[in-house]
Structure 1
Amino acid sequence: MPRPFGNPESPASGAVLVDKPGGITSFGVVKKVRWGLRVKKVGHAGTLDPMATGLLIVLVGRDATRQQDRFMGLPKVYTGTIRLGQTTASFDAETPVEESVDASGVTPEALEAVREQFVGDLTQVPPIYSAIKKDGERLYKKARRGETVDVPPRHVSVYDLAWTDVRASGAEDGLGIVDVDFRVESSKGFYVRSLANDVGAALGVGGHLTALRRESIGPFQVSEALPLAAFERDA
């Protein structure tokens, strides 16, 4: 179950690798693990949005949760899909499409040029629909009230970015849609949703994230993770 470290007299202390399913928050995963292991002190090391799937490191026990920063600072690898031609307020598919543009003219050369812009040390503006706090309140709460918030940029790094597939995905209202699959390796604090929005903006057609999976965090792989169902138990 947990990978033990810290106090050897605390066998329930360690890092649990969970393959998070879609449709549940990271806190929801923590609650299920807490209930399944019957341990009070449980946290996680890096939020995944409800839509996203993949590796979530759950820290079990006081010795483990004290090492949260150690895990948070590790590089992460994600795969997913950017839909070009449509923008949303949340930068993903959790909110309605606000604007549509014909993306059928996006060329491989344009995609490669844009890819090169997003590798290296970058300044990125996080999405307003995020758990970042401003004035003591989560940004997504302000966004849901329709407030306009100035989100400060942050410095992040992209170590590698590759387009793994590009395909036309039909049309809506006569406007062509293009889906771009990707693999990205990034630093702490990087928002893949912002990448999707920024890539679409750089191409002049808009874009948002339609799928996201976290493949790894440092040396920890999703292939090593347990399904969330492993922690379900009767009362």
Structure 2
Amino acid sequence: MDALTVIEKGSLQKLSHNIDDYPGGVVIPLDKPLKWTSADAVRKIKFLAQKHFRKRNIKVGHAGTLDPLATGVLLICLGKATKQAEALQAQQKEYIAEITLGATTPSYDLEKEIDATYPYEHITLDAVKRVLEEMVGEQDQIPPIFSAKLIDGTRAYEMARAGEEVVMKPARITIYALEIMDFSLPKLVVRVKCSKGTYIRSLARDIGAALDSGGHLTGLIRSASGGFTVSNSLSMEEVVEILKD
């Protein structure tokens, strides 16, 4: 298998106009902008790559969806690197998550309005530590109904937005580590190391419920994906620069 060409911050270089100069393909760790979907990022970079490489049918994809309200590492694969997207996606992820306790939303994040409030004043640091310790390990997790999961060929979020009943099947995931970064009620900030397929929104919901309260995600950064970190990821502006026609 030919080696991947990785373009990281600090080693910015103009890419050749011939994609065949990169037999293993190119991987760009992107710091995804807030409110962009992963598909938005792929479309933008594919447009740039088509012009840069003078090739309309160039393959561009990503290795692991990142929610619109999240920022951080989104691996963009160009050319033959798309064949390794699945392997890249399977690597361990790390997130910094801000959870607001005492309230829930249908989407488990800020996409939807608060639908219920709960007491949270009883929550102590010791209680949070105990709950987080219990959540480390392999487990079944229920994905959010407002997610890109496919149900009989239809995206779950499309069914939810249409008002249809959505029943999500649990997925087997692993939480490798949970670390408290900050705790100031009603806010809780945690560092999460987890497997592919983990929904941090669902984790926020589950933490709130385990604390006899509610919880929803109010901020999310994917700080690492495999060996790629957000500090070494490129902004969209930097990607535009290296793919200038």
Q: 1:190 and 1:23 mapped to 2: Cα distance? A: 20
Of 161, 167, 176, 1:144 maps to: 161
- The corresponding residue for 2:192 is 184
Q: Runs ≥4 in structure 1, deviation > 6 angstroms? A: none
* Contact 1:37 1:231 (8 Å CA) reproduced: no
Task: Note the residue ranges of structure 2 that are not aligned, 5 or more in a row.
Answer: 8-18
Deviations 1:127-179 (A, max 9, x none): 111101001100000111122211000111011001111113xxxxxxxxx10
TM-score (norm 2): 0.86
Post-superposition offset of 1:73 = 0.7
Question: What percent of counterpart residues are identical?
Answer: 39
Of 73, 97, 100, 1:55 maps to: 73
- The corresponding residue for 1:219 is 227
Task: Note the residue ranges of structure 1 that are not aligned, 5 or more in a row.
Answer: 169-177
TM-score (norm 1): 0.89
Q: Which has the higher strand share?
A: 1
**1:11-90 pair list within 5 angstroms:** 11=22, 13-38=25-50, 40-61=58-79, 63-90=80-107
Of 204, 209, 217, 1:201 maps to: 209
* Contact 1:32 1:232 (8 Å CA) reproduced: no
Residue 55 of structure 1: SS of its match in structure 2?
Answer: strand
* Contact 2:97 2:200 (8 Å CA) reproduced: no
| CA RMSD, 1 decimal | 1.9
Q: 1:199 and 1:82 mapped to 2: Cα distance? A: 9
Q: 2:204 and 2:20 mapped to 1: Cα distance? A: 46
1:3 and 2:11 are equivalent in the alignment: no
Amino acid at match of 2:236: L
1:165 and 2:165 are equivalent in the alignment: no
Aligned residues between the structures: 222
